[in-house]
Amino acid sequence: MDFLQLENIHHSYFSSKEAKEVLYDINLSIREGEFVSFIGPSGCGKTTLLSIIAGLFPATEGKILIDGEEIAEHNKSLIGYMLQQDYLFPWKTIEDNVTIGLKLTDRQNKTHKVTANALLQEVGLPNVGRYYPRELSGGMRQRVALARTLAVNPKILLLDEPFSALDYQSKLKLEDLVVETLKTYHKTAVLVTHDIGEAIAMSERVFLFSANPGKLHKVFDIPKELQGLSPFDARQHPSYGGVFQSIWKELESLG
């Protein structure tokens, strides 16, 4: 079932002197519970497109539908956004950081502590609720950011290069954790990344965009045998290299 639909998305940035077209006629659909990635050269508008899906600003033309409804104020809460930086509040405890979305949406106070502890346990960080962000490593802070994103129970998670600032070992561990957690909660996810390997290892489909303006160039279906594995194990599978080469050659052809 198509859960997230992008229909005829165009977007331009306007200045006093010119209009710069950054997205041109983007049409795509994502199934409920599916994990997909957006990749492409710099300037192809991946992050702009993610921001439009998040409802941070409207597209110049076109519409975004979630479960058949256009994005509006009443359903923006269905979307969670996880960025490259964790943006934790340094003066708040980890527990307070995790539940800040619940407090902003006036969810019932009594459940905050229970929700925070359960999610921190889920992301492998038990007993850190009373810590402050400065007491955690970068990888741990991103785990907290994931817990905070999940706390408001979004149906769709948008991930804008959330692992790119981490060391390689932490990155691989967090990739596995994110995929496992999102499958458990049956979340729909869209990842923006420059890392082809990451896109293959985590996704069911990879959307490749060309630049100037950004257009959807090609969609790659990841083989089922890779989809059933953790991202770490997918990288070791014999099929992985062939998929990587196919996407790399197509990306290279875009210049």
Which CATH number is 29's domain given?
3.40.50.300
**Residue 151 to residue 178: CA distance in whole angstroms:** 14
Higher pLDDT, 88 or 103: 88
Q: Is 129 within the bounds of a domain? A: no
Q: Is the pLDDT of residue 77 over 80?
A: no
**What domain range includes position 32?**
2-89+155-253
Q: From the CB of residue 45, how many other CB atoms can be counted at a distance below 10 Å?
A: 25
Q: Is 234 within the bounds of a domain? A: yes
Whole-number pLDDT of residue 75: 67
Q: Is 68 within the bounds of a domain? A: yes
| Total number of domains in the chain | 1
Which of these ranges, 52-61, 111-120, 193-202, 220-229, has the smallest mean pLDDT? 111-120
Q: Is 148 within the bounds of a domain? A: no
Whole-number pLDDT of residue 100: 84
Q: Is the pLDDT of residue 237 over 90?
A: yes
Whole-number pLDDT of residue 165: 81
Q: Is 125 within the bounds of a domain? A: no
Q: pTM here?
A: 0.91
Q: Is 98 within the bounds of a domain? A: no
Q: Is 103 within the bounds of a domain? A: no
